[in-house]
Structure 1
Amino acid sequence: MLVRTRRVMGTGALAAALIITGTPAAAQDADQAARIRKLEAEVSALQRKVFPGGSGRYFEPEITAPAQAANTPAPTTSALTDVLARLDALEGQLQRLTAQYEESGNAMRLLQARVETLEARGGPALAPATGTGSAAIAPATGIAPATGPAAATGAARPATTPTATAAPTTAAARPSPQRLAAVQRITKPQTNDPGDDEYSYGFRLWEAGFYPEAQQQLTLFVERYPTHSRASFGRNLLGRAYLDNGKPAEAAPWFLRNYQDDKTGARAGDSLLYLAEAMIALKDTTRACIALAEFGETYPALATGRLRTQYEANRAKVTCS
């Protein structure tokens, strides 16, 4: 009995011991499970941070566009759109300039046609209005006019606006059909330099001996293109067109103007020498001598070079003190 009691007591003590020792083990397993769940949650959170697509196959791009400020408007045009807009503006401006150029060219052609019509009918010419040779000389060259209103006002420049004159009443003043046909056979150049074309056409008329027609054409050139590279040539040739036509009084103002406007011009020296020649033709020896002296002093290279023969011939025609 005693032995059984001891056995029972021993068995109960063992069970109690097992219960006592089993309780910490069960608590330890639960704690480890909680820690594992916490770690799994942290890994899941880390995965969502690194791979926010919810799938392992999704990756964010390494380079992303910078975020715009909330109050910054998004661009509405691209660089290509701006370039196209500027091209459209340039094309519009080019069209307007082309239209203006065509209108100016058409007006020039109409004016030329009108001049030719008036010439054919014996109408007013586009020659500058001038006075006598002495009155057309300015004090700037040392040659003072003896009489006339030009003495009080300085140089008498040729008028730049054509003046209406009475149409000739005789048939002899009108150009003959043969002359008109000969003038029409002289072609006008057509290049990309309209100013040079106008001058070249006037030169061809002068070279062919059509002096009145050359006077009109060269007057048109010098008044329309006063700063052209051929302007000095044009003014000098216009004076020669009058001088060769036996009109030294009309030629002198153009020679003087060409010399005064640009003394370094390509034909300024020529004009001063031709001015002396016009004064000789007008029998104005005093002014001719002053012009010759001015030429020799201002253009010594021409006096001993290209224009030497003409210079010496003019000096031989007058006796200068």
Structure 2
Amino acid sequence: MAFGPLARNLSFLGAGFALIATAQPALPQDADDEARIRRLEAEVRALQRRVFPGGDGRYFEPEISAGPSVSSTVNSTTTTAVTDILARLDALEAQLQRQTALNEENANAVSLLTARIEALEGAGTATTVATVDPTPTTSAPAPAARTVETPTPAPAASGPTDERLAAVQSITKPQTDDAADDEYSYGYRLWNAGFYPEAQQQLTLFVEQHSDHWRATYGRNLLGRAYLDDGKAREAAPWFLKNYQDDKGGARAGDSLLYLAEAMIALDDTRRACIALAEFAETYPGLAAGRLQTQYAANRQKVTCD
């Protein structure tokens, strides 16, 4: 019982020492944080040197100042030390992010530049391969001399003779109140006189300018005949077919279908000739048995149809 007051004093004294011990900052922990920060700063500087050779602070302004010494940290409060550490870590992270972005931009630029160089080298190689002839390993023997005959040039195509021009000019063009009919009649006169090229030109002008005229069916049919009579069955056939298809009830549609068969016979196209003859007999039985009977029968004798 005599030791009661002493024991209480020792107890209070121990508690006081414990409070003093807890109030002091933890020195080892602050030292570790300072070492980590310095290591991160060293890594950033190393990364700067890899991206920008000779990195000596010229490319980035220093954003992190030297940290306080351990002795000064010991004298500062715990709150102040932690705040400073966090701020410095944030600055390091921001700088690392900027450095990473720069690395990616540099990598992309290098990749694009490499692709352009490869493309240019490939184009240059292709051009070289295409333009450079291989060097022959052996010399080819000289070709034997031969005599080359110079062909006699064909005489230049001459225009119509004076006699033909005079004959064509002697055919007058009608002058009536129907100018379109006058154009057709003039083409008919040229064809009837045997001037087929001139008739072709005149009748083409007529059918192109007066396709709605009542003479149009006559004009297309006669234009085909002007080609057929001139020995140009291939040029005649389209006009016969067009005249038949454009107006099957036209005054010369049946004639054109029968003349189409004649053009096919001239071209040795028996199948199409037989088709045209069969369609003519079916579509225009009156003409086949009447006005065009003789011509139809003559065409039937020229081909053998199934």
Structure with more contact order per residue of length (Cα contacts < 8 Å, sep ≥ 6)? 1
Q: Which has the higher helix share?
A: 2
